[in-house]
Amino acid sequence: MSSIANNRLATWMLVSLFTAQTSTASAQDFNALRNKMVTEQLRNRGIKSVAVLDAMTKVERHKFVPEALIKEAYNDYPLPIGEGQTISQPYIVAFMTEALNLMPTDKVLEIGTGSGYQAAILGELVQEVFTIEIVEVLGLQATKVLTELGYENIHVRIGDGYEGWPEAAPFETIIVTCSPRKIPQPLQDQLAEGGRMIIPVGESHTQELVLITKEKGKLKRQSKLPVRFVPMKDSGGRRY
Ligand code: SAH
């Protein structure tokens, strides 16, 4: 082998070694950041469900954010994911998930797939997740990430979540991560008897996170938290 080829080989080996080392180091950094997030943002603020805390410790949130924001993935705020949409703050994801009081046998419907992060958390906790996203590029990107991570129990549909997913209904739990003014009738209908729904309702500046339970066919409503989510829109961009 010529010395030039030798040099090239040496350089290649050095570069490979460097890349391997930095990627291991950053994986460790992400683990540390994730553990810190769970302790400081979730446990210290009152999230108690061990199952929820475990799921949030396991799911690699940085895989769901745009490359340019990867270092901020575990910070205490929502992040833009493109198309004017956001991935919710970690605490809100944990709070909504805990409020649903999930059983491992539940079938969950999510409206607003976004990055797919909330769906992955749900996928860790229940048997089957059905999630709907109206913005095609986001739905496709979320499907790609969830498939790469091996979630076979999460089904993504691109469409208008206002209508729910009638073929898969009824759902023991429904989580809505975009905000309509009122609770969509199809979602009320698709909630199983004894089921729970968590949904941010209200005007664009003043919304309330509401927990709905269905008992003997009637809905009970409990206010949980003032919040601000992106609006639920129809395919023409009009707000529901
Ligand atoms: N759960 C997401 C956060 C989603 S942000 C996550 O973990 O990343 C809210 C999402 O709801 C946006 O992606 C938005 O495009 C979507 N959305 C808005 N109106 C919708 C509708 N009618 N049906 C389905 N998705 C909708």
Q: For 45-67, what is each residue's pLDDT tens digit?
A: 999 999 999 999 999 999 999 99
Q: Whose CA is nearest to atom 11 of ligand 1?
A: 112
Encoding tokens for residue 201?
Answer: 């309702």
Q: What span, in angstroms and rounded, lies between the C-alpha atoms of 110 and 113?
A: 7
- Give me the chain's average pLDDT, please: 92
Task: Single out the catalytic residue among 26, 49, 88, 179.
Answer: 88
Q: What span, in angstroms and rounded, lies between the C-alpha atoms of 150 and 93?
A: 21
Q: Stretch 138-153: mean pLDDT, rounded? A: 98
Q: Stretch 100-121: mean pLDDT, rounded? A: 98
The full set of domains in the chain, from first to last, is: 41-227 (3.40.50.150)
Q: What is the pLDDT of residue 6?
A: 52
Q: State whether the beta carbon of 92 lies less than 6 angstroms from ligand 1.
A: no
Torsion angle of C-alpha atoms 137, 138, 140, 143, degrees rounded to 10: 170
Q: Is the pLDDT of residue 2 over 80?
A: no
The question of whether 88 is a catalytic residue gets the answer: yes
Q: What is the pLDDT of residue 24?
A: 54
Helix (H, G, I), strand (E, B) or coil at 183: coil
Helix (H, G, I), strand (E, B) or coil at 214: strand
Quote the percentage of the chain above a pLDDT of 90.
Answer: 87
Give the distance (Å) from ligand 1 centre to CA of residue 15.
40
Neighbours of 204 (CB within 10 A): 12
Q: From the CA of 161, give the closest atom in ligand 1.
A: 23
Q: Is the pLDDT of residue 74 over 60?
A: yes
Q: From the CA of 119, give the closest atom in ligand 1.
A: 7
Q: From the CA of 112, give the closest atom in ligand 1.
A: 11
Q: Whose CA is nearest to atom 17 of ligand 1?
A: 112
Encoding tokens for residue 175?
Answer: 């989580």
How would residue 82 be classed by pLDDT, with cut points 50, 70 and 90? Answer: very high
How would residue 111 be classed by pLDDT, with cut points 50, 70 and 90? Answer: very high
Give the distance (Å) from ligand 1 centre to CA of residue 110.
9
What's the pTM value of the predicted model, to 2 decimals?
A: 0.90
Q: What span, in angstroms and rounded, lies between the C-alpha atoms of 35 and 210?
A: 29
Q: For 165-207, what is each residue's pLDDT tens digit?
A: 999 999 999 999 999 999 999 999 999 999 999 999 999 888 9
Give the distance (Å) from ligand 1 centre to CA of residue 16.
39
How would residue 29 be classed by pLDDT, with cut points 50, 70 and 90? Answer: very high
Looking at per-residue pLDDT, the higher value among 23 and 67 belongs to 67
Q: What is the pLDDT of residue 98?
A: 98
